[in-house]
Amino acid sequence: MSFRYTLAGRLLRDPLAVLGLSIIVLLVLSALFADHLSPHAYAELNIANRFASPSLEHWLGTDNLGRDTLSRVLQGGRIALLVGILSVVIAGGIGLLLGTLAGFGPRWLDNTILFLFDTMRAYPTIILALALATLMPRGLSTVIIVVVLTSFSEYGRVARTQTQSLREHEFIAAERALGASSIRIILRHILPNILGPFFILVAINLPVVITIEAGMSFLGVGVPPGTPSWGSTLKDGFDHIRTTPWLILGGGIPLILVTIGFTFLGEALRDVLDPKLRGER
């Protein structure tokens, strides 16, 4: 199979996918090498130089404690990616498991799991985050728990629908007739076929997760105080909106970029993996 027909080859022919991928690669690199790229230490205080406007020294100015905004934003990318990837992996895993169980299992199990999905969807994410924040210690693990709780059902729904449509297929019915175990069928046939729509959802869901982390940190129920997160930068900017408008730009732009990047990638993936849905932009 020549390169132009492989997944990567087809993605690279789509200019929007290339744009999305470039943004993501840039983000990942800047997060990985944040320590080297940061012009200043992110926690370095400089009370004498509070609320500094953008300059050559401080490209995005400084915050209320005189810390370099650019350095904090670069470090914030790490938190965002860490939370994003961890929660997507956990939520995706739980969703995949429950979804295939619901799609493949008996009717009562399907109904129970579907009811669970409906129930989890009824919690407004940020409001649940606030409610749980009173019960749990402030920190990344709480953020991840909240995100997983509110997003696994979405993965579950996709996995369930895919499994259900697959189990009616002839090749699976044939395997069953030959006495293959359910686990074998799920692992050999269903999982590989779910992965396409699943990755599309991952790409679409990752920026949502990152936004929830930023939102929780903005509300003061996310990362611990002092940790550089885009959300806490935005919060500092909000508290001092009349003096330091660049803080809310510095915290907001990467959030928007990350969403645009993953959205373009997700759509390109959908075009490539699932041509049926083409046009449903």
Partner 1 sequence: MGLYFLQRFALALSILFIAVSALYAIMVMLPGDPTSVLLGPRATEEMRANYALQMGLNDPVIVQILNFWGRIINGDLGQDVLRNRPVSEPVLQALPYTAALIAAAIIWSATLGILLGALSAAKRNTAFDRITGILSVAFIAAPSFVVALWSLLVFAVLLRWFPAIGAGEPGNLPDQLYHLILPGFAIGLSWVGYIARIVRASMLEVMSENHIRTASAFGIPRYRIIYIYALRVAVLPAVTVLGVGVGGLLSSAVFAEIVFARPGIGKLIYESVTSRNYPVVMGCMLVSIGFFLTCTLIADFINALLDPRLRSKK
Answer yes or no whether residue 177 interacts with partner 1 by CB under 8 A: no
| DSSP reduced 3-state for 258 | helix
Interface residue with partner 1 among 75, 125, 142, 229 (CB under 8 A) is: 125
Answer yes or no whether residue 94 interacts with partner 1 by CB under 8 A: no
- Dist. CA 147–CA 125, nearest whole Å: 8
Answer yes or no whether residue 54 interacts with partner 1 by CB under 8 A: no
Q: How far is the CB of 233 from partner 1 (least distance, A)?
A: 11
Task: Find the helix or strand (DSSP H, E) in which 197 lies.
Answer: helix 191-218
CA 212 to the chain's CA centroid = 9
DSSP state, 66?
-
What radius of gyration, in Å, describes the C-alpha atoms of the chain? 22
Q: How far is the CB of 239 from partner 1 (least distance, A)?
A: 11
| DSSP reduced 3-state for 62 | strand
In terms of Cα–Cα distance, which of 159, 154, 153, 150 is closest to 96?
A: 159
Helix-, strand-, coil-residue percentages of the chain, each rounded to 5: 75, 0, 25
Nearer to partner 1, 135 or 177 (CB): 135
- Dist. CA 118–CA 95, nearest whole Å: 13
Q: What x/- string results for residues 236 through 265 when contact with partner 1 is judged by CB under 8 A?
A: -xx--xx--x--xx-xx--xx--xx--xx-
Stretch that binds partner 1, among 55-63, 77-85, 157-165, 213-221 (CB under 8 A): 213-221
Interface residue with partner 1 among 121, 161, 180, 240 (CB under 8 A) is: 121
Answer yes or no whether residue 207 interacts with partner 1 by CB under 8 A: yes
Residues across the chain: 281
Nearer to partner 1, 99 or 254 (CB): 254
Provide the binding-site residues for partner 1, judged by CB under 8 A: 115, 118-119, 121-128, 130-136, 207, 211, 214-215, 218-221, 234, 237-238, 241-242, 245, 248-249, 251-252, 255-256, 259-260, 263-264, 279-281
